[in-house]
Chain A
Amino acid sequence: MGKVATREAYGAALAQYGADTNIIVLDADLSKSTKTDTFRKVFPERHFNMGIAEANMMSVAAGLATTGKVVFASTFAMFASERACEQIRNSICYPKLNVKIGATHAGLTVGEDGASHQCVEDLAVMRALPNMVVLSPCDEVETNLAIKAAIDHDGPVYIRLGRLAVEAVHDAETFKFELGKGVQIKEGNDLTIVATGLMVQESLKAAELLAAKGINARVIDMHTIKPIDKDILAKASKETGFIVTVEEHNVTGGLGGAVCEAICDTAPCKVLRIGVEEKYGKSGTPAALLEKYGLTAQAICDKITAAYKGE
């Protein structure tokens, strides 16, 4: 199977589920990039371009939602989660309105556009909002089901999506998506890697490299950052005693933060947080950037090996 970006899967899912006339899609002059144009081609009467005005778009989405609509508002993760953060907080989350934020171009793998467009803080920011659900799917199949779950959920949802085409992790025939439930995709008892987004693919490869060194890592795909799956984490903590989080996001406040908070309450263990280390991004190819910021399978394997041996 070929590689597919989660933003592509998002646009396709909107078109797939968009026959429901209650669904409205807003964009901010990025519909070709966010892929909401895939929806527009099928349902032009329910796609509205709000122009380069993200703050207004989020509040307009809220107003639409007060009338019973399910509203998707899309732009890059950078401009959704930070330019329009207060609108998401006060117009959407505070009144718990049914707005879904389709935030594409998250993380470093935006690539050549560089740091101004590479959002590595959105999980932290969006996760801090009461009433918000935060999803971060890793592949096409998971994205499709995440969009379905977002539609079925009554309330605000932030969906973190990527620009880069990625390999499939899940099988469309058998994969079950449950909002708030992490998915164990590889068994192992020496340690647990909890990954999200396209770091799931890298983590699976890292687990293979670790296996060659005799380290047997469990791998969990954490597609829901909030509410985080406390049970799967407590189990991993108790059974493996060492958790490694891997995310294409700053090491502060994202998946790593969420995991630490969760096990703090249930079963504390040693945690290694792998991610962007308090830095902004850079221009470059996605592959070069993952290399530079230490987010390739090899770099992940090396960091884990050092920490594991140091135990």
Chain B
Amino acid sequence: MRDFEYSRAETLSGAAGQMGEGASVIAGGTNLLDLMKIQVMTPSRLVDISRIGELQGISEDGDGLRIGALVTNSELAADGRIRSGWPLLSRAILAGASAQIRNKATTGGNLLQRTRCPYFYDTAMACNKRSPGEGCAAQEGVGRMLAIFGTSEHCLAAHPSDMAVALAALRAEVEIRSKEGETRCLPVTELYRLPGDRPDLESVLEPGEIITAVRLPAPLADTRQVYKKVRDRASYAFALVSVAAVLEMEGDRIASASLAFGGVAPRPWTDPEAEQALVGAAPGDEAFGKAADVLIEQAHCHPDTEFKKPLLRRTLIAALREATGLAKPATGASTARIPA
């Protein structure tokens, strides 16, 4: 770890005042501190936002919810309103990390956690995300955890968050406050930038901008919500692939589908055409497979991620089977119950 200055902000405007060149906010610290210890991140100042009251708590927001950026992953997953109206979100969060980490991890920090590409973590290896222009050691290296959508020749890294995938399928928005105190909102998927030739720039946040909340729109009554994550062990591992699905049925046909995919792209991946392919379809492996094919068609694989094509295809089918009742729901599937 490099030496850094530390200051604690009590208010949002106080935080804005402390944010200068080379500064980084710290929330739960579960990602940032790890990266600082190995000098992958070397902020000259940490602005501790963890005590700012305005960033705490979950509140009702019209028919939706506003989740403060400091709400911990544990708190969010356990919230009764979330569990009944947006169960997908609870499931996705609980599919990530460990109980101890979730107790510290925050909503804002989770969205902005960095990739798990092992070459990003190893300062002896070239990485364009750490130092643009240096090269990408993962290209010809070990690539099991890399992305297959939205990558560029400069970076193949995947975004590791599970929570963000659920938020994308739930069409959530991120609330952002600028240094000057102005607030803007963006769909979760638009928070992220694709790597292009600047993989070091991961989000659209301007210097000094802070995530203040996540806004969940009103839940859709009677949607089936499924989060299905496949990983290299039963828990405490990042997704090889994950699928978040929110389905609305009309009789025995699919009326609408909102899908997002994790472990496969630099941001929660969405594919409107794959969603469209499901609309009006009668549930079944064939219809699901067609939608999966639409999705998979866009994939570009590193030799080590070729497996993600069949795996993602199968995981999507499995998730849709659960969402449409063809399969008995496993842990990870729930129906949204909307209080009348």
The answer to whether A and B interact is no
Residues of B at under 8 Å CB distance from A? none
Contact residues of A with B, CB < 8 Å?
A: none
